[in-house]
Amino acid sequence: MGFLSPWFLLGLLGVGLPVWLHLLKQHKTVPQAFSSLMFFEKRTQSSVKHRRLKHLLLLALRLLLLVLLALLFAGPYILQKPSSANSGRRNVVIAVDHSFSMRQGGQLQRAKKEAASLASGLGSGARAEVLAVGMHSRAMSQMIADPGQIRAAIEAIAASDERSDYSELGRAVRAISETERVPVEVHFFTDAQQTSMPANFSDLAMPADAKLTVHRTRESAKPNWTIETVSAPGRIFDTKKVRVQATIAGFGTPVTKKQIKLIAGGKTLDSKTVDIAADGRASVEFVSLDSSYGFNKCEIRIEPADEFPADDVFRFAVERADPRRVLFVHSDLDSRSALYYRTALESAGSGNFVMDVVSTGQAGNQSPEKFAFIVLSDPGPLSQGFEESLKRYVSGGGAVFITLGRATVAAGKLPLTGDVLDGTRTAQRSGDRFFNITWTDTTNPVIAKSAGLDRVKFFQLVNVQGQGWRHMARVSDGGWVLAEKQLGEGRVMVLASALDNVANDLPLHPTFLPLVEQSGRLLARETESTTSMPVGAPLELRTARERATSVEVLDPDGKRLLSLEESVRALTVNLDREGFYEIRRAQGRQSMVAVNAPRSESNLALVPQETLALWENKGQTGASASAQSTTPDFEKPQPVSYWRPLLVLLLLAVLAESFVAGRHRDRGEAQDDEVENLQEAA
């Protein structure tokens, strides 16, 4: 027996209080009237009678109250070994690695066959739970005793394209141990791949009651070549100006030559031979991609295939399209801005855009909906019809980039937004004689990829008086140079200066090219195309602003991957199979992404045997393992507290003490009344 808070037992010293109170009450006497004491002999009265305790039952109850109260706070308990209905039953966890590397050489089928053989030999009374282990652990069954159901669960394990992570096995077994509260035997069937080991060995820890046995399906590492990476544009416009680069890696391989093929739509477009060093890497480049319009399913492939053909192919998706048109509107006084802007747009190299240049007077004949975005270069006053069509264009999701100069300042207001243009700020003729950008919003993708803006000299800036602008760059006097504003579903971006190489020297700086390219991508809502991604990586479906829009995802078999509710609410989705996925978004926007198995699975090097031995022995070896043998937590004696019965006894004692004290009080009052009556009669 023990106490959770033994220092509360000091409260037992309080049992002397009721005894003292009971003795104190014995000295209470009733005065008697007498005429004279002169004839009485003086003597000492004995106090033995005064020291005798009365009302013993009441005293005992009060002492019991104090003892129970002290014990209740001290928390008495006894250690008791829990009984378990399963204490004598054999409980087994059968875990099978079904990661991508288990596809090589029939490793998965070998593992399932050995696991089924183990299940058949468990014997009567044994229970087993089947796990499929990869990037995550999946329970294929509950803890069951039917050998037929156990074998069926093992047979249901299918090969996956995931990477393997052995720490997932430890987490799964710990969860089973906490749920079942019984000792378990863990049998893990795997190819013992080195890349599956976690960075920290402690992540492999098993519960103290678990006994692990690792069954290796591979006895030696196999040499293997794989397509490790592919770099290709997501969207192409000129098939003769496309560069596709691939890296071929060898793991445990000798010096060799390999033929690498570029395939699009099932058709071989090009083939090259590369020399690969022993256990090394080599690169190959293809300079054209003759593909059809729309989305193309492309591959880089090693031929002939090696002993692990599943990783000899790397998929990527490419969209072929015509360049998108950009409308550039300039005032009659602005003759150079179009040249600078067109040169930067064409020098970007992506070929995404072609530019139509018109003056402000000719712009009324243009339909804004035909263009990816529109540039108004110091346009001056716009015709009412053209400005109204621009407003409808922006409200519906379009974008306009406006630069400001003398012609627009003369109009007195900013096109589309109507904000007041309050003159210009001109740099002083003394001192620096120009403005420099001193602050930028680095979270904006345009600013993030436009390094060197702080070296641009601005000689003249236009003052814009308005609310709701998100500043992207500000100069030393606190005024902004570049800002954007949301209008309906679209946006307006403004540069508070012109592009004529007079108000500033921005067109002459190297940063002008990325500024034009990135602002164009942002205004046209073009994101960096994702041509391929590894299995298990999250694919972003929508931004927070597009939360209410529906997104449909079709898997490699053409089936819907998301439910109706998920297609509206989900922000991301994990793609767990190799192949090509189609993504269909609102407003007819479509994309395609290729998914490949993680190339860490291509390295078939094995975990050293001594490492597996440490894992099986929970990291202990030899004498230390026997000296530090542990007892499962649920087999150890557990403290059983008795605070509930003590509380019940305390309540009963309180009621009994109140009853007995009341009886004695009534009896004492009756005696006092009798004495008073006798005194009155005398």
pLDDT at 545 > cutoff 90:
no
Residue 615: the pLDDT is 92
Beta bridge partners of 534: 596
Residue 656: the pLDDT is 85
pLDDT at 555 > cutoff 50:
yes
Residue 20: the pLDDT is 67
Q: Torsion over CA of 457, 460, 465 and 466, rounded to 10 degrees?
A: -40
Beta strands in 167-251 (DSSP E): 184-190, 210-216, 224-231, 235-236, 244-251
DSSP state of 428: -
239 pLDDT band, cuts 50/70/90, is: confident
Q: Name every residue whose Cβ is closer than 8 Å to that of residue 51 and which is 6 or more positions away in sequence.
A: 23, 26
More confident residue, 528 or 614: 614
Q: Phi first, then psi: what are they for 668, rounded to 5°?
A: -65, -40
- Domain regions of the chain by residue span: 2-80+661-681, 91-221+606-634, 324-522, 532-596
CATH pick for 324-522 out of 3.40.50.880, 3.40.190.10, 3.40.50.2000, 3.40.1280.10: 3.40.50.880
85 pLDDT band, cuts 50/70/90, is: very low
Given this chain, do its domains 91-221+606-634 and 324-522 carry the same CATH topology? yes
358 pLDDT band, cuts 50/70/90, is: very high
What are the structure tokens assigned to 376, written together?
């108004």
What CATH topology corresponds to 91-221+606-634? Rossmann fold (3.40.50)
Mean residue pLDDT of the chain comes to: 85
What are the structure tokens assigned to 293, written together?
């319009």
What are the structure tokens assigned to 531, written together?
């041509």
61 pLDDT band, cuts 50/70/90, is: confident
Radius of gyration of the chain (CA): 43
Please write the tens of the pLDDT for every residue from 650-673. Answer: 888 888 888 887 777 777 666 666
Please write the tens of the pLDDT for every residue from 171-205. Answer: 999 999 888 777 899 999 999 999 999 989 888 98
Mean pLDDT (whole number) for 8-27 = 66
Indicate the pTM of the whole model: 0.69
To which H or E segment does residue 375 belong? strand 373-377
Please write the tens of the pLDDT for every residue from 318-351. Answer: 999 888 899 999 988 787 899 999 999 888 766 7
Name which of 53-57, 91-95, 152-156, 538-542 the model is least confident about: 53-57
- CA angle centred on 49, ends 45 and 52, rounded to 5°: 150
Name which of 45-49, 98-102, 569-573, 597-601 the model is least confident about: 45-49
pLDDT at 624 > cutoff 60:
no
Domain 532-596 CATH class label: mainly beta
More confident residue, 682 or 268: 268
pLDDT at 637 > cutoff 80:
no
Rounded Cα distance, 100 and 224, in Å: 14
- CA angle centred on 588, ends 584 and 594, rounded to 5°: 35
